[in-house]
Structure 1
Amino acid sequence: MSDTPISLYRLARGPALTVTGGCIVVAGILAFAGFLLVGDGTIRRVAAFIVGALAVASLLVAARFAWRSPVVVRLDGTGMVVTRPRSRTPWSQVEDVVIEDGHLVLSGGGRAWVDVRLVEPSEQADLLRDVYDRLNAAHGYRRFG
């Protein structure tokens, strides 16, 4: 079972672009504040440098979310890893799977949940199918045919 390929399901473009836009707005405000802080005093110069560094950091976060969305769920042969909130559930310990209010909840030895709506819409059905297939394989079930 551990030789099955790893599946990564990333954050949907909508939430990722929302974070990108928010970070760009914050960077613009910080850059404006940095220009206002530049002056003759040493403290003002240090404050302007710090605010400028925060603006650059905000732009880097925006670029990160715009270029490649972060992983929401990672499935491998041993279990499911959810990134936020961080949890790991081995397939062999899952006793029940429920979909409620857009959340996929796995319970048993531990409890893990993932908001399926955060995954790219074209991959949501693939995520659910992948979870059920991996659970069936972990418990020794196979398809007829």
Structure 2
Amino acid sequence: MTRYRLDRAHLMVLAGVCFITAAVSVLIAFLTAGKGSAGTVVSVILAIVAVVALLVAAIANLRPPTVLTLDEIGYRARGRHGDGTWKQVEAVEVSDGLLRFTDASGDISAVPLQYVERDRRADLIREVYDRLNTAHGYRRFDPAEFD
């Protein structure tokens, strides 16, 4: 099983959004603290939001999210992009920054390549084609076998 994880640039954007969310939450919690029971409740909720945002940033940096997983049976894409088995895949196309899988019913699952680490994109495409060839029983032509 091969996992292709979120690239560093998008990971840094995620971390930045989490840190900004935490900072704004702490600022508002500080400004509303001591303004009666409602202010205390708001401060506690915003403090919890800040802690959760910092935890999300830390976890994402320690273990980046998986964008696409490939194994012997098929592929699983993160989010609503889809999943399927290699036997169901009729065609694979790379265009407009998307890796598109078309199955026998004509449904298309698209995975944005921009989220995959830049130096692993070529490996991903090569592995997809190799797994498809294996699943359908194709192998490279070797003229030496026929001598």
Give the TM-score, by structure 2 length.
Answer: 0.90
The answer to which of 81-90 and 70-79 deviates more is: 81-90
Query: Deviation string for 1:78-106 (max 9, x for gaps)?
Result: 11110122511110011111111010101
Query: Deviation string for 1:39-61 (max 9, x for gaps)?
Result: 15112111110010001111111
1:121 correspondence with 2:118:
yes
Offset at 1:11?
A: 0.4
Q: Which runs of 5+ in 1 are unaligned?
A: 1-5
Q: What secondary structure does 2:56 align onto?
A: helix
- Give, in whole Å, the separation in 1 of the partners of 2:54 and 2:28: 15
Paired residues, what number?
Answer: 140
**Percent identity over paired residues:** 39
- Give, in whole Å, the separation in 2 of the partners of 1:88 and 1:19: 24
Query: Deviation string for 1:20-75 (max 9, x for gaps)?
Result: 01110110110011111111511211111001000111111111222221000000
Aligned to 2:145: none
1:28 correspondence with 2:23:
yes
Aligned to 1:44: 39
Aligned to 1:79: 74
1:97 correspondence with 2:116:
no
The 4+ residue runs of structure 1 with deviation greater than 3 A are: none
Aligned to 1:57: 52
- Give, in whole Å, the separation in 1 of the partners of 2:134 and 2:6: 26
Aligned to 2:62: 67
- Give, in whole Å, the separation in 1 of the partners of 2:81 and 2:96: 20
Aligned to 1:3: none
For the aligned residues, what is the CA RMSD? Answer: 1.2
Aligned to 1:139: 136
- Give, in whole Å, the separation in 1 of the partners of 2:59 and 2:22: 14
